[in-house]
Structure 1
Amino acid sequence: MPSIAIIGGGITGVTTAYALTRRGFSVTLFERHRYPAMETSFANGGQLSASNAETWTHPSTLWKGLKWMFRPDAPLLVNPRPSWHKLSWFAEFAASIPRYRQNTVATARLAIAAREHLFGWAEAEGIDFDVKKAGILHIYRHRDGFEHAARVSELLAEGGLPRRAVTPEEMKAIEPTLAGSYYGGFYTESDATGDIHRYTNGLAQAAEKRGAKMVCGVEVTKVQSDGEKARVWIAGEDGPRTFDGIVVCAGVVSRDVAAQLGDRVNIYPVKGYSITVNLLDEASQQAAPTVSLLDDETKLVTSRLGDGRFRVAGTAEFNGVNRDIRADRIAPLVRWVNQCFPGVSTRQVVPWAGLRPMMPDMMPRVGPGRRANVFYNTGHGHLGWTLSAATAEAVAETVQQWGEARQPRLHGGLVLPASAR
């Protein structure tokens, strides 16, 4: 089988490596950190949330961005400083608004398809990642948010995902530790949570056992393809490493890598924040929720990781390639925990920030590039883990079809090259 280089060792790169090795490909994955899953796949919200498939390309998103632009603690924060990349991205975002409905339905279908692969792989490889299949509860304090969610539920149902409206009393029964006053909620029993970092590393080890090479701690300085061979230059090495094909799974760097390969992949880095609350005492463990939550008003999600950790994540910051962890962006997450779960001690909180690779239409770029041996699996935005297993299978299937088409075939006792078939 052909040799394949994968650029990027986050959840999409590792799932792609695993899906390709299962098909017999010779896979080499390049990751600049010493270990896989050290950037956006390190400490995200932990949700496997088909119920969060609604794309952001809704007119209200633009209004909220303008309204919140000068609020440092806003759920959606846009740095007003212009750049061509940012302006082009938002122009394409606005142009995608008419496809809001179809893209939301398509994302829900993709998320449902991903579950089977993700859980199946974990079971087959014995990966322990603090999975909790207790569903996800969306919470709403006001009627307008609840009614918008009801309309979204219709789109999710069209995509094959059932979720049900619940009263405040039912919300309390689903998650008794939740404090506050609410108009209502929506509960998706089929959703789940887990630790993306543990999952990605477990799957990377499984891919290695199947023959994949994980080349970590190296800087890819250049990539090139002529359609027949792909070349990857590594810092400190004299010449390029050569492969039959290449798959780009490089997160927010994918845009630059794609440009070297002759493609335009207009990914923008959208920063998200998280806190991991260490539940150091029994009282905090009892007061922390076990069911995952999504608060649409504050754009925060939660996951319970084992007995001793409670993660809260969310917000969106359009500020370029900036990985700074800002105190004024972390503070609202801590306040939210104190308000919604007052029995949880926030004495020990670990903050984190990561850059989500987002396409303007909120749909991942999955499939072939301009050159025959170039492929992409990137741009998943805030649903990277939720969609990763399905897109990995899709791109692996595409690579397999390409690999089979390029193999010589016997014809009358002669081996014919692809150009002669």
Structure 2
Amino acid sequence: MKRIAVIGGGITGITTAYSLAKRGYDVSVFEKNRYAAMETSFANGGQLSASNAEVWNNWQTIIKGLKWMMRADAPLLVNPKPSWHKLSWFAEFMGAIPQYADNTTETARLAITARDYLFQWARDEGIDFDLKKKGILHIYRDKAGFDHAANVSKLLAAGGLERRAVTPEEMRSIEPTLAGTYYGGFFTESDATGDIHKFTFGLARAAERLGMSPFYEHDVKDVGASDSHAWVVADNGEGERRHTFDGIVICAGTGSRALAAKLGDRVNVYPVKGYSITVQLDDERSRASAPEVSLLDDETKIVTSRLGDDRFRVAGTAEFNGFNRDIRADRIRPLTDWVEQCFPGVSTRRVVPWAGLRPMLPNMMPKVGSGHLPTVFYNTGHGHLGWTLSAATAELLADAVEGANAAESVSVSH
């Protein structure tokens, strides 16, 4: 197995292609957009956040979701219109509640591993992506939120992550521009932020230098596989063409479920919409008033990152509304309001809104590894931690491909 097709040119597809190309595989990436990282990997919250590894599978999330269902500006919004996909997803989500602690710890462990790979790749390939290694500060307005975070910290510590509780006074010394009254916070010095689009685009160029073949502006219409090979039918605007490979990796984000079904596998990814705004820091006062340290406001589920001198990214909310990609004003407004409340010196006169669909599996863990056929692999379903986990899952995927290769060689030699 030497020729591998990767479906999807977002952060998971490109990191997968890079890991495979580094190991000598002949990799082809199929992406319907003109460039890499043009959809969910375009304008996320910017955090490389092992400290945000807590999975959502707990009763607290379900209670909040029910309470917020009729609030258009709620941090978590579920469209009550039923569908089999949504109902099956939520049933499995509730079924994964007993794994909450183990999955949170394992996600933290994966995130720490991923961070080391990602930083090394950026150094090796000279990728400038507005990296800031200034930590992430979780902020809490009440004792209940703070106490819950203290319990989460124990699970993160079991995965190898150090984060410490901080008083309101310490919070202001960590990030002096933060306004408002808080009960306390938790600070993770080892976390970082950056521009996911710049990183993914730079890594795609690096993968090309290693021999990766980019099939941009190729809309995948069909996929298939057997025990010995796999194929992709893609349309480049001038007609459909069939491409044959030794193996295929599905990294197609929210499109992974439909492709997996064609390959005989069930991958119950649901699209969970998230929103962001990029605040343009055009004047000196705004630049001085915007934070340098990344924040996560647990109550509002809002995260921030400072991207260079003149951009401030603010992202959050989760919306279960199918494949709807509309940018709703009533979902963007809370992000702008939050900036004005927490950083009153920042002008919100020039704000760029965005929405993307996070590919989430019910247990909040990515699917990484082989399908039921020996030529089919998956690296998808990373949810809200796609960038944070991507480098580690790409290496795990490459390990799985190499393992399949070794097994194939053994069977041939016999």
* TM-score, with length taken from structure 1: 0.97
**Corresponding residue SS for 1:29:** strand
Would you say 1:102 and 2:66 are equivalent positions? no
Write the distance in 2 (CA, Å) between the matches of 1:375 and 1:138.
36
C-alpha displacement at 1:47, in angstroms?
A: 0.1
State the partner residue of 1:184.
Answer: 184
State the partner residue of 2:207.
Answer: 207
What do residues 161-204 of structure 1 show as CA deviations (whole Å, max 9, x unaligned)? Answer: 01000000000000000000000000000000000000000000
State the partner residue of 1:241.
Answer: 243
Write the distance in 1 (CA, Å) between the matches of 2:288 and 2:104.
36
State the partner residue of 1:413.
Answer: none
Structure 1: gaps (5+ residues): 410-417
Write the distance in 2 (CA, Å) between the matches of 1:138 and 1:420.
55
C-alpha displacement at 1:238, in angstroms?
A: 5.1
Amino acid in the other structure paired with 1:307: D
Would you say 1:60 and 2:56 are equivalent positions? no
Amino acid in the other structure paired with 1:131: L
C-alpha displacement at 1:420, in angstroms?
A: 6.3
Write the distance in 2 (CA, Å) between the matches of 1:205 and 1:276.
25
**Corresponding residue SS for 2:4:** strand
Amino acid in the other structure paired with 1:175: E
Write the distance in 2 (CA, Å) between the matches of 1:44 and 1:420.
47
State the partner residue of 2:14.
Answer: 14
Would you say 1:378 and 2:380 are equivalent positions? yes
State the partner residue of 1:301.
Answer: 303
State the partner residue of 1:82.
Answer: 82
Across the aligned residues of Structure 1 and Structure 2, the Cα RMSD in angstroms comes to 0.9
Write the distance in 1 (CA, Å) between the matches of 2:408 and 2:412.
9
**Corresponding residue SS for 1:91:** helix
Write the distance in 2 (CA, Å) between the matches of 1:384 and 1:199.
13
Write the distance in 2 (CA, Å) between the matches of 1:238 and 1:256.
19
C-alpha displacement at 1:79, in angstroms?
A: 0.1
Amino acid in the other structure paired with 1:138: H
1:396 to 395, 398, 402: 398
C-alpha displacement at 1:419, in angstroms?
A: 5.3
State the partner residue of 1:414.
Answer: none
State the partner residue of 2:3.
Answer: 3
Runs of 4+ in 1 over 3 A off after TM superposition: 236-239
Amino acid in the other structure paired with 1:354: G
* TM-score, with length taken from structure 2: 0.98
C-alpha displacement at 1:404, in angstroms?
A: 2.8
Amino acid in the other structure paired with 1:5: A
Amino acid in the other structure paired with 1:374: V
C-alpha displacement at 1:227, in angstroms?
A: 1.8
Q: Name which of structure 1's ranges 145-154 and 397-406 shifts more when overlaid on structure 2.
A: 397-406
C-alpha displacement at 1:240, in angstroms?
A: 1.2
Pairs within 5 Å for 1:16-415: 16-235=16-235, 236-237=238-239, 239-407=241-409
Write the distance in 1 (CA, Å) between the matches of 2:283 and 2:42.
25
Write the distance in 2 (CA, Å) between the matches of 1:373 and 1:116.
29
> How many residues were matched structurally?
412
Query: Structure 1 residues 297, 400: CA separation in 2 closer, same or farther (over 3 Å shift)?
Result: same
**Corresponding residue SS for 1:240:** strand
Write the distance in 1 (CA, Å) between the matches of 2:331 and 2:243.
42
Identity of aligned residues (%): 68
Amino acid in the other structure paired with 2:322: G
Write the distance in 1 (CA, Å) between the matches of 2:36 and 2:10.
6
Structure 2: gaps (5+ residues): none
